Amino acid sequence: MRYSTLGGGKRIRPCLCIAGYMVGKDDWSPLIPVAASIEMIHAYSLIHDDLPAMDDDDERRGKPSCHVRFNEGIAILAGDALLTLAFETLARVKEFPAERMLRVIASLGRYAGASEGMIAGQVLDIEAEGKAVTPAELEFIHRSKTGALLGGAVWIGAYLGDLGEAELARISRFGECIGLAFQILDDIDDELDGNKRDEGKATYPHVHGFEKSKAVARELLHNARQAVAPFGDRARILAGICDYLEYRRR
């Protein structure tokens, strides 16, 4: 569990959670357990993604994948344990009102789950392998597989930061845009790097080509910035994350 969670990575999801919280609050230290729980769920998903039955990847973040470093059974259990630890961690948080934490727990379960969240997207992603998909189907896969947890992370932070419903609607719009943009840019990066993980997968470059994929990602990031522009300087970190995603390559 430590090997896969602490062994590198950009920590985009916990960063988004904290950045959303800082739209309403200055001291983000009470949010650390919440942000960490979101990263645990992300780490568990990567362990399972790398398994032979899924993407069958032997390397993650420049080192052997969990199932290669240990074994397949331990990797499955490590992922399971991280998922359960995430919700145990959330249930122990006392820095926020219990009714708010209950909503956070339910929301995170939905973002990571089988109806409209990460698991739903992963199932559809597997079923689409080697098949032609429509642009609408591709967008739904990406919004669920990656976008739900990314967007959910920033919403959870903003909700615990005491933002009102109108402000949370702006945060939700930001999260929807940045979540889809992140996966599109990830698809582009994998293709340019010659990453074999996406062979046979439904990706934006495969469906739309490079140039249109880049244009769609740029428009989404522009829309994300516009969604939080009324917050002014309070949203500077959210805007900075958009800049990072847009300019991290070339």
pLDDT of residue 234: 96
Specify whether the CB–CB gap between 216 and 204 falls below 8 A. Answer: yes
Separation CA 35–CA 52 (nearest Å): 29
Separation CA 140–CA 21 (nearest Å): 27
Which positions ≥6 away from 60 have C-beta within 8 Å? 4, 46, 50, 66
pLDDT of residue 194: 72
CATH number of 2-247: 1.10.600.10
Q: What is the pLDDT along the chain (250 residues), one digit of tens a residue?
A: 999 999 888 899 999 999 999 999 999 999 999 999 999 999 999 999 999 999 999 999 889 999 999 999 999 999 999 999 999 999 999 999 999 999 999 999 999 999 889 999 999 999 999 898 999 999 999 999 999 999 999 999 999 999 999 999 999 999 999 999 999 999 998 888 776 666 778 899 999 999 999 999 999 999 999 999 999 999 999 999 999 998 875 4
pLDDT of residue 20: 98
